[in-house]
Structure 1
Amino acid sequence: MLVAFSVTPIGAGDSVGDAVAEAVRVVRASGLPNRTDAMFTTVEGEWDEVMAVVKQAVDAVAAVAPRVSLSLKADVRPGVTGALTAKVEHIERVLNQG
């Protein structure tokens, strides 16, 4: 499955970058395939392992903020691996046929 999520600290001041960096650190340490962009971090793996990483990322932000907002979108496709890169590669192939 792919899970795209965004964790936002609330009530921890104007700058959220340091807290968000801690969440991304948790994701990268998980060893699961992942990608971070300006809006979301996407993680690929099995349900239980991906959700555990999301929870750990939320906990990392909650350690420095009294409240945490979590936005999550999931693509649940049992047995499919490599979707994190395959979806983008497909789009690039189509665009390059132009």
Structure 2
Amino acid sequence: MLVAFSIAPSGGDNRDASVHDAVAAAVEVVRRSGLPHRTDSMFTTLEGEWDEVFAVVKEATEAVGEFGSRVALVLKADIRPGYSGEIDGKLERLEDAVDSRSQD
């Protein structure tokens, strides 16, 4: 399964409303998990089995909770039993499709 998620605190003391420290705490949890992952400017994507992925999301959410009185979690999952390596595989298939379109 792939899970893309974004976690943000609110109600904290940061005057400029920046959440980079909270996001860093969440990314640290993700990296420590050892699961395949990718972080971009909007989401972190994890790949793994249901229980291990959601355990990481829970721990990351708790880490972000230290930075405010509330936490917002946005999550999208691609559940495809029997497949692995999709964190890279989906992108490779997309790039192949883009390349083949430009050759037409």
What TM-score range do you get, normalising by the shorter chain?
over 0.9
Question: Who is 1:5 aligned against?
Answer: 5
Question: Who is 1:30 aligned against?
Answer: 33
Mean alpha-carbon deviation: is it higher for 8-17 or for 70-79? 8-17
The structure that has the greater radius of gyration is 2
Question: Who is 2:62 aligned against?
Answer: 59
SS at match of 1:15: coil
Cα shift at 1:96: 1.5
Structure 2 distance, partners of 1:20, 1:68, is 12
Q: Give the letter for the 2:5 counterpart.
A: F
Q: Give the letter for the 2:3 counterpart.
A: V
Question: Who is 2:83 aligned against?
Answer: 80
90, 94, 98: which one aligns with 2:97: 94
* Root-mean-square deviation over aligned CA pairs: 0.7
Superposed structure 1 runs of 4+ greater than 3 Å apart: none
Deviations 1:50-73 (A, max 9, x none): 000000000000122111000000
Q: Give the letter for the 2:32 counterpart.
A: A
Q: Give the letter for the 1:93 counterpart.
A: D
SS at match of 1:9: strand
SS at match of 1:60: helix
Q: Give the letter for the 1:4 counterpart.
A: A
Structure 2 distance, partners of 1:95, 1:63, is 42
TM-score (norm 2): 0.91
Mean alpha-carbon deviation: is it higher for 35-44 or for 11-20? 11-20
Q: For structure 2, which runs of at least 5 residues remain unmatched after alignment?
A: none
Structure 1 distance, partners of 2:18, 2:42, is 16
